Amino acid sequence: MISAAVRNAPKVVSFSNGSNGSLIGHLYLPKTYNCNQRYPAVVVGGSMASVKEQMSGTYASQLAHHGIIAMAIDYTNWGESSGAERHSEVPTQKTKDLSSAVSYLVNRKDVAATALLGICTSGGNILYAAAEDHRVRALVTVAGFFGEPDLLSTLFGADGIESRKASGRQARDLYRETGEIEMIKAYSDTEPAASKTPKDSYYMDQSRGGGVRAWRNSFAVMSWESWLAFDPVEKASYVTAPTLMIHSQKAAFPTQASKVYDLLAGPKECIWTEATHFDFYDNPETVQDTVQQIAGFLHKTLVL
C-alpha cells in the first residue's frame, strides 16, 4: 500500500459542478512549481463509489512529482462535494463534473493543456466527457471498467438486472416521498446484496482503501437504473483525443478494454502489464511504473 504520508500536501479547491452545486478537488502542484510557467494538467477520477483520498489522490500526487498539475476530485454526491442524493452513481452527472473540472483547470494561467485520467469506472466516465468536450486534449485509462448492456447482462443476468432496476425505482419513490436514501454496501466480500463483491480486500482492508476516513462504503439503491445504463463502449468511437490505455489480462474485463481500444477514433496506445486490478490502486511498484508511463505520455501529448 502507498501511504498517504508520501503524498504532497494538496491545495483544496472548489468550483461549480454545472448543476447548481460545487465540487471539491485536491490540487497537487509540481515540487518545482513556478507560477510564471505553464504546465500540463490532468483531472483524476477514481473507481465507483471512491473518494479523492483513495486511488485518484495517489495518482494525482505522484504525477505532480513528474511536473504535472494534477487534480483529484470528489464527484457530485460523494466525499466533500455537494449533492443531496448522497452516494448515487449517476454517469451523466459525472460527465458534467469532469467537464467542470476541465473548466477549472483551463482557466488557470499556469495550465498549458488539460487531460483526463480515469481509474477503473472513471476510465469509462472520461470517455463520456471526452466524446462531448473537445477541450480535453488527452485521455488515460488505468484498469478501466468499460460497461455495456451485454456485459451487465452477463454479470447480473436478465432477472438480476430487472430486480435491481425495480428496487432502484422503489428507492427513488421512497426518496421523493420522504427524503430517505436507501443504502446498501458499495463493496463487500461477504454480503451478496452489495453493489459489487470483489475478491480483493482493498475496500475491506483498513490499512488500504477501507481505512480512508473520508470514504463511506455506501451505494444509493435509487441509482441502480442510472448505473445500469452506463455504456462507455458506445462513446468510444466519438473520442478523437489521443488516448493511452493501461490494462492487464488480470484486471477487470480485458476484452472490454480491447473493444474500446479498437473503437477509439483518435491516436491511441495500449500498454498491457502483469498487474492485478487492485495492484493498480495501491501497489507501490505498479503505481510507480504506471505513473511514469502516464507522465511520459502527458508531457509528449500536452505540448506546451
- Rounded percentage of the chain residues whose pLDDT exceeds 90: 91
User: For residue 286, what pLDDT is reported?
Assistant: 99
Contact 45, 140 (CB under 8 A): no
Instruction: Please name the residue ranges forming H helices in 80-148.
Output: 91-106, 121-132
> In this predicted structure, what is the pLDDT of residue 7?
60
Share of the chain above pLDDT 70, in %: 97
All structural domains of the chain: 4-156+231-301 (3.40.50.1820)
Report the chain's mean pLDDT, rounded to a whole number.
96
Give the model confidence (pLDDT) of 81-91 as tens digits: 999 999 999 99
Of 6-20, 136-150, 228-242, 252-266, the range with the lowest mean pLDDT is 6-20
Q: Do 239 and 226 meet the contact criterion of CB atoms below 8 Å apart? A: no
pLDDT at 196: 86
Asked whether the beta carbons of 84 and 121 are under 8 A apart, the reply is: no
Q: With 80 as the cut, is the pLDDT of residue 304 above it?
A: no
User: What per-residue confidence (pLDDT) applies to 198?
Assistant: 85
Predicted model pTM: 0.96
Higher pLDDT, residue 8 or 287: 287
- For range 156-172, the mean pLDDT: 97
Closest CA to 252 of 117, 151, 134, 128: 151
pLDDT computed for residue 199 by the predictor:
76
Q: What is the pLDDT of residues 57-105, one digit of tens each?
A: 999 999 999 999 999 999 999 999 999 999 999 999 999 999 999 999 9
The stretch 19-28 carries a mean pLDDT of 97
The model's pLDDT over 179-229, given as tens digits with 9 standing for 90+, comes to 999 999 999 988 888 898 887 789 999 999 999 999 999 999 999 999 999
Helix H segments across 179-201? none
Strand order in the sheet with 111-119: 11-16, 22-28, 69-74, 39-45, 111-119, 136-142, 243-250, 268-276
